Structure 1
Amino acid sequence: MKNMYRTLAVSALLGSLALTAYAQDFKAGFVNTDRIFREANSAKAAQGKLEQEFSKRERELVATGKALKTASEAFERDAPTLSESQRVSKQRELVERDRDFQRKNREFQEDLNARKNEELARVLEQANRVVQQVAEAEKYDVILQEAVYVNPKHDITDKVIKALNNSGK
């Protein structure tokens, strides 16, 4: 029985030594994609492109919203002096304008979100290529993009952003 415990203890010790030796060769890294989306030149260029593409529609929506608010305030102010048929007619007109405004606003948000997802997908694709290049060059075994906690010494986000910015030049 003592021999069996001794054999188990020796096996456990050898197993832990093997794991320790393996763990010393294992190299892991972490990339913060949120930072890449905020700081990489390609992400900033994508954001600028989206702003340019959608700014006119946004300005039009803001102007329409202000005009609708002004018309609604005027209706509230003038409603007591209007006849019943005028009041009903104006109210229908305001409801229709508001419905049209809400529809246009929804379409704008949907279009903006779709284009934003397209642009972010391109940036992420570029970033993933750069991450793979950095991982191969520096012999990483694994690179994580999401984690609950990461020791800052394993964070390679700065290297990836720098490589992304240099690849765009």
Structure 2
Amino acid sequence: MAGTISCSASLAQAQDFKMGFVNTERIFREAASAKQAQAKLEQEFSKREKELVDAGNTLKAASEKLEREAPTLSESQRNARQKQLVEQDRDFQRKRREFQEDLNARKNEEQQVVVERANRAVKQVAESEKYDVIFQEAVYVNPKHDITDKVIKALNAAK
């Protein structure tokens, strides 16, 4: 008899337990604040990226020109131009590496802002709809527990 009462109490508690799941990748793809952050980064880094592409094309053209003209150049001219190309390539690689480091740092900053806003939206949804737990990573989630759409709506509504 005591086992039946205990089982009934556990079942009642399990029915009161409410859990949800949030797909953070979707939030980064679909939330307005994430899209705004991406657009901001593209605007901020587009000029430097174009300069890098142009420098890469210039370097490639100079390398191809050296290959074409190498047979007609003296050894000292060929060596001087090869040395110049190596220096230009080293400078290009350094600029590309710096660009990538700056871009990654800014991307991390912008993503952190989105994460903080998303976490506030998750908490808001969880509290207003009385969720006991919200998961962000899982091997499998039944779609009925996915509250990502609600979080994205809350996130987009919050300005």
- Which TM-score band applies after superposition, normalised by the shorter structure? over 0.9
Query: What is the correspondence of 1:12-23 to structure 2 with a 5 Å cutoff?
Result: 13-23=4-14
1:152 aligned to 2:152? no
2:25 aligned with 1:67, yes or no? no
- Alignment of 1:45 with 2:36, yes or no, is yes
Q: Specify every segment of 5 or more residues in structure 1 that has no aligned partner in the other structure, as ranges.
A: 1-9
Matches within 5 A, 1:1-169: 13-168=4-159
CA distances 1:4-59 after superposition (whole Å, capped 9, x unpaired): xxxxxx66555443332221110000011110111011000000100000000000
Secondary structure of the residue aligned to 2:20 is strand
* Residue-pair matches, total: 159
Which runs of at least 4 in structure 1 moved beyond 6 Å after TM superposition? none
Gaps of 5+ in 2: none
Q: Counterpart of 1:119 in 2: which secondary structure?
A: helix
In the aligned structure 1, how far is the partner of 2:5 from the partner of 2:135?
30
Secondary structure at the counterpart of residue 34 of structure 1: helix
CA distance in 2 between counterparts of 1:142 and 1:148 reads: 16
Corresponding residue for 1:5? Answer: none
Equivalent residue letter for 2:23: N
Percent identity for Structure 1 against Structure 2? 72
